[in-house]
Chains A and B, each alone.
Chain A
Amino acid sequence: MLSENKLHVAFSKDNESLTEVFNKKLEKMQKDGSMLQLMLEHDFLLRLNLHNNDMSN
């Protein structure tokens, strides 16, 4: 692998409160499996890279 970057949503300056709404729902989706489901629907699951799946900053 040459490099790795993380993908974020960037909200405009007037929408700071939406960042928190996004983060809370994202965490919920990662815990309840709906994020995994969405990834499956888009063929995003290559190999389950569990040891390298830390999405934190």
Chain B
Amino acid sequence: MATKLNSTLLIKLFFIMFCSVATLPPVLCKELKFAATEWPPYSGANLKGNGFSPQLIRKIFSDNNVEVQVFILPWARALKGTIEGSFDGLLDVWYSEERAKSLHFTDPYMFNRIKFIKRSNSNISFNKLADLKSYKIGIVRDYAYNEAFDSSKEIAKISERTFIINFYKLLHHRIDLTLEDELVARHEIKKYHLYYLKR
């Protein structure tokens, strides 16, 4: 037992000395903690491997034998925790000059495209936002979509608690359009269909 403990200690001691002497990047010398927020299918506590972005970050650092931990938290806590250094990094972040003052941004790894969704037999099209003023558009309360859209007074925006409520209203002709990130919308619609198929 003593021999086993001693050898473990020696290995740890050697590793610490090796890291400090060779001045390797910190990535080779520690575990990394990442924060993310519940945003399926990008990240989510109930998704396989916590979702696409957590799996990407694990693959990114897999060559370095680093233990990667991902914590799914409310957005404000995840952002604050990363700025204050409680987490090494934050996943699924939009760049802003304000955020870049306190964080280092990587190259982008994915697009987040907000698209309008209509019934397949609808002939609605638009070139400018003003083209949409005669339609009822379902939005999610407190979401920031786009500055021009959010501030527009001429568009009839009807807010609901979730995207899937808007999707249901769209199917039942209670609204003409809704909008969401394309991947998020497809994920939510798939989940909605699976739920109703099981009933």
- By a beta-carbon cutoff of 8 Å, the part of chain A in contact with chain B is 1-19, 21-23, 25-27, 29, 34-35, 38-39, 41-44, 46, 55-57
> What is the chain B residue whose CB lies nearest that of A55?
B108
Contact B103 A11 (CB under 8 A): yes
Contact A8 B93 (CB under 8 A): yes
> What is the chain B residue whose CB lies nearest that of A4?
B113
**Further contacts, 14 of them, CB under 8 A, given A7-B111, A7-B112, A11-B103:** A1-B114, A2-B115, A6-B94, A6-B111, A9-B53, A12-B103, A13-B103, A15-B104, A18-B88, A19-B106, A21-B25, A38-B55, A42-B41, A55-B108
Contacts of B114 in A (CB 8 A): 1-4
Interface size class of B (residues with CB under 8 A): 35 or more
A10 to B90, CA, bound (A): 5
Contact B115 A13 (CB under 8 A): no
- By a beta-carbon cutoff of 8 Å, the part of chain B in contact with chain A is 25-27, 32, 34, 41-42, 48, 51-53, 55-57, 59-61, 63-64, 82-85, 87-95, 99, 102-116, 145-146, 149, 179, 182-183, 186-187, 190
Contact A9 B94 (CB under 8 A): no
Q: Which single member of B90, B183, B187 contacts A9 (CB below 8 Å)?
A: B90
Contacts of A21 in B (CB 8 A): 25, 27, 60-61, 64
A10 to B83, CA, bound (A): 9
Interface of B is mostly: mixed
A47 to B80, CA, bound (A): 36
Contacts of B63 in A (CB 8 A): 25
Contacts of B108 in A (CB 8 A): 6-8, 55, 57
Contact B52 A22 (CB under 8 A): no
Q: Closest CB-CB distance, B119 to chain A, in whole Å?
A: 18
Contact B104 A5 (CB under 8 A): no
Contacts of A55 in B (CB 8 A): 107-109, 111
Contact B83 A12 (CB under 8 A): yes
